[in-house]
């Protein structure tokens, strides 16, 4: 019975749970997102800086790729992780624009932070953002340029130049910007090696060889992989073939494979000898079956032992065991045939072929190269450079460029980069915002202003006067010059970026703006954060044995009378 009419205390959440709610929590989430944008902002544009990030093991990575930086930072703030997710989604979907999407999302939150403090409902802000986002997407579809490679009046040479410009623009803010023409041609050639319907970028292999300069990098129109672990006899094998037959296996060609797969009990030494002879007979039967196929190159996902290696060497056959699954898949794509799980019944249609097979020295490594393949739908980029961190950053830069070129091949729609598209969208959305009454006018105008963060940050990173350049851009766009953007090299600071061939696939902008808007709306919709306590918190005092606490409580309950 309760005395004095007091209400009983209801414990809803576990003890130690931390909950924060209301407007202060929303503002705290916005501040966390702005902190992330502040870290990334200096990496944007052709004059962006790099970040050197050292992990707990002491490994250092140098990069200016937004998604990579956020992944390496290991951000734990729950609201800020939303920006990490959109950067990763942008990287997976389009491959480029990862920094831009985070900056736009954070700037959207910054522009409306004052309205949140004044008590404007997040639902009104969200509604305005979604309307402005739809206006932006419609505007991009309206102004984008389309190059159709199927048009008979559009030669493939012109379409290739479009792809080269998109790749070059993607690399302009990367570490390899000094070698843009060289790598742009390499990336476009790599994408055009693929099946133009599927465009599976995983079929572009990337191999890194330390040493040499960037110009020593090469594109292999086929497959190249590092020489695998070899046994005695491998050096006696031929290292060059013309038009060889290739067999790909998922079979272990080692003596120990037979005795490890069974348990046998024997009573006499002669019986044991018969088992040993049978094991040798089994492996020789496999080797002879492979030789009968006429294959001159034998590749296997599993080990090929010293007996098989020497046996193949005596018969002028090259073999490589422990070939990685991605490399074997690319060999099958390029040379044809299929991976066999048995050595019996290998038919001619199961074999592949290539024009030239050779083992070549690249830097300090030996590489096996398959070139001039009849149905090559794959290729390999062999990257060179002085330091491992440098080569890894080159790989990330080329991945972005490959994804951009892939999107351009699939769609063919491009817009001008360098902040030109953002300025055009800003002018278009602001014009609409001023034509409507009420709070929505303020929200949509704030959205338009937030888009200016891209050209503003490009100017800031290049050491230019962003206020002066943005005023020039606003004047140009007000007079109908839709493709004017930032020029980090010229004296005036602005130029027509469409004429200057600073092009990007329109999908980059569509994805960035829609993802940034969704992230901002998601953060605005959160008004409470509940942190559950850790499941294993350190307890003070001596530990009690399991079940002791429950027994103590039960004993205490029996011995103490209850007060009424």
DSSP assignment of 475-511: HHHHTT-TTEEE-SSSSSSEEETTTTT-EEEHHHHHH
Of 535 and 185, more confident = 185
Mean pLDDT for 409-415 is 82
**Cβ-defined contacts of 145-150 (< 8 Å, 24+):** 145/413, 145/414, 145/415, 145/498, 146/412, 146/413, 146/414, 147/412, 147/414, 148/412, 149/412
Per-residue pLDDT at 539? 44
Phi, psi of 247 (to 5 degrees): -115, 130
Question: Would you tell me which CATH number, out of the four given (1.20.120.420, 1.10.560.10, 3.40.50.720, 3.90.850.10), belongs to the domain 18-146+416-525?
Answer: 1.10.560.10
How many other CB atoms are found less than 10 A from the CB of residue 348? 9
Q: What whole-number distance in Å separates Cα of residue 500 and Cα of residue 502?
A: 6
The dihedral sign for the CA sequence 32, 449, 129, 439: positive
Q: What whole-number distance in Å separates Cα of residue 161 and Cα of residue 151?
A: 15
How many other CB atoms are found less than 10 A from the CB of residue 154? 15
Plot region of 547 (φ>0 → left; ψ -120 to 50 → alpha; else → beta): left
544 has pLDDT over 60: no
Task: Write the pLDDT tens digit of every residue in 131-167.
Answer: 999 999 999 999 988 876 665 555 556 778 888 888 8
- Name the least confident of 75-79, 130-134, 342-346, 536-540: 536-540
Outline which parts of the chain fall under CATH 3.50.7.10: 222-375
Burial of 232 (0-12, 13-18, 19+ CB in 10 A): exposed
Q: With b meaning 16 or more CB within 10 Å and e meaning fewer, what string describes 410-419?
A: eebbbbbbbb
Superfamily name with CATH number, domain 155-218+391-411? TCP-1-like chaperonin intermediate domain (3.30.260.10)
pTM (two decimals): 0.76
Q: Is 165 helix (H, G, I), strand (E, B) or coil?
A: helix
| Annotation marks residue 487 as catalytic | no
Mean pLDDT for 165-173 is 84
Q: What whole-number distance in Å separates Cα of residue 199 and Cα of residue 457?
A: 34
Outline which parts of the chain fall under CATH 1.10.560.10: 18-146+416-525
Per-residue pLDDT at 554? 45
Return the H-helix or E-strand segment holding 544: none
pLDDT-above-90 percentage for the chain:
17
Mean pLDDT for 423-434 is 92
Written in H, E and C, the secondary structure of 217-247 is CEEECEEEEECCCCCCCHHHCCCEEECCEEE
| Annotation marks residue 99 as catalytic | yes
Mean pLDDT for 290-308 is 88
The dihedral sign for the CA sequence 523, 526, 527, 531: negative
Per-residue pLDDT at 18? 55
Per-residue pLDDT at 426? 93
- C-alpha distances (whole Å) from 74 to each of 54, 68, 163 are 12, 10, 35
230 has pLDDT over 50: yes
Residue 538's pLDDT band (boundaries 50, 70, 90)? Answer: very low
Per-residue pLDDT at 556? 43
Catalytic position from the list 98, 309, 460, 517: 98
Per-residue pLDDT at 414? 84
Catalytic position from the list 96, 400, 424, 487: 400
Task: Write the pLDDT tens digit of every residue in 68-94.
Answer: 888 888 888 888 888 888 888 888 888
Catalytic position from the list 63, 65, 327, 380: 65
| Annotation marks residue 216 as catalytic | no
- Name the least confident of 18-32, 221-235, 242-256, 446-460: 18-32
Return the CATH number of the domain spanning residue range 222-375: 3.50.7.10
Residue 429's pLDDT band (boundaries 50, 70, 90)? Answer: very high
| Annotation marks residue 228 as catalytic | no
359 has pLDDT over 70: yes
Q: Is 399 helix (H, G, I), strand (E, B) or coil?
A: helix
Catalytic position from the list 43, 63, 82, 99: 99
Q: What whole-number distance in Å separates Cα of residue 416 and Cα of residue 454?
A: 13
Residue 520's pLDDT band (boundaries 50, 70, 90)? Answer: very high
Mean pLDDT for 5-22 is 59
Residue 363's pLDDT band (boundaries 50, 70, 90)? Answer: confident
Return the H-helix or E-strand segment holding 290: helix 269-292
Q: With b meaning 16 or more CB within 10 Å and e meaning fewer, what string describes 349-361?
A: ebbbbbbebebee
């Amino acid at each position: 019975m309760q005395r004095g009419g007091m209400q009983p205390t209801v414990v809803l959440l576990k003890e130690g749970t931390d909950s924060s709610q209301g407007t202060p929590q929303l503002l705290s989430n916005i501040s966390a997102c702005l902190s992330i944008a502040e870290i990334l902002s200096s990496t944007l544009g052709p004059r962006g800086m790099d970040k050197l990030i050292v992990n707990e093991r002491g490994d250092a990575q140098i990069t200016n790729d937004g998604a990579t930086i956020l992944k390496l930072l290991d951000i734990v703030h729950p609201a800020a992780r939303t920006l990490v997710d959109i950067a990763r989604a942008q990287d997976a979907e389009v491959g480029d624009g990862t920094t831009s999407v985070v900056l736009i999302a954070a700037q959207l939150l910054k522009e409306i932070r004052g309205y949140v403090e004044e008590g404007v409902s997040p639902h009104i802000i969200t509604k305005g953002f979604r309307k402005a986002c739809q206006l932006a997407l419609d505007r991009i579809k309206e102004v984008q340029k389309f190059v159709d490679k199927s048009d008979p009046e559009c030669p493939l040479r012109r379409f290739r130049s479009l792809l080269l410009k998109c790749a070059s623009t993607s690399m302009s803010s990367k570490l390899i910007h000094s070698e843009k023409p060289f790598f742009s041609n390499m990336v476009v050639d790599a994408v055009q090696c693929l099946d133009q319907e599927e465009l599976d970028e995983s079929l572009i292999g990337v191999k890194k060889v330390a040493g040499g300069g960037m110009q020593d990098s090469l594109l292999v129109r086929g497959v190249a992989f590092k020489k695998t672990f070899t046994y005695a006899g491998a050096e006696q094998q031929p290292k060059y073939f013309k038009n060889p037959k290739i067999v790909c296996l998922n079979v272990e060609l080692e003596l120990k494979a037979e005795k490890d797969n069974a348990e046998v009990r024997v009573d006499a030494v002669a019986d044991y000898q018969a088992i040993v002879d049978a094991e040798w007979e089994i492996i020789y039967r496999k080797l002879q079956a492979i030789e009968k196929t006429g294959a001159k190159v034998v590749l296997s996902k599993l080990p090929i032992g010293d007996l098989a290696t020497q046996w193949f060497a005596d018969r002028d056959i090259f073999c490589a065991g422990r070939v990685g699954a991605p490399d074997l898949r690319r060999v099958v794509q390029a040379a044809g045939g299929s991976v066999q799980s048995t050595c019996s019944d290998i038919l001619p249609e199961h074999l592949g072929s290539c024009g030239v097979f050779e083992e070549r020295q690249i830097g300090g490594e030996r590489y096996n190269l398959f070139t001039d393949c009849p149905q090559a739908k794959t290729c390999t980029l062999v990257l060179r450079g002085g330091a491992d961190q440098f080569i890894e950053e080159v790989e990330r830069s080329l991945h972005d460029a490959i994804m951009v070129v892939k999107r351009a091949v699939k769609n063919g729609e491009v817009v001008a980069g360098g902040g030109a598209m953002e300025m055009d969208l800003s002018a278009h959305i602001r014009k609409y915002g001023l034509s409507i009454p009420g709070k929505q006018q303020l929200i949509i105008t704030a959205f338009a202003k937030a888009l200016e963060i891209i050209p503003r940050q490009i100017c800031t990173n290049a050491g230019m006067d962003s206020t002066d350049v943005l005023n020039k851009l606003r004047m140009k766009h007000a007079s109908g010059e839709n493709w004017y953007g930032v020029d980090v090299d010229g004296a005036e600071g602005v130029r027509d970026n469409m004429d200057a061939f600073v092009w990007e696939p329109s999908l980059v902008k569509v994805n960035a703006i829609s993802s940034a808007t969704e992230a901002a709306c998601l953060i605005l919709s959160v008004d409470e954060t509940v942190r559950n306590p850790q499941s294993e918190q350190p307890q003070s005092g001596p530990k009690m044995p399991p079940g002791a606490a429950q027994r103590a409580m039960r004993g205490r309950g029996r011995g103490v009378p209850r007060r009424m």
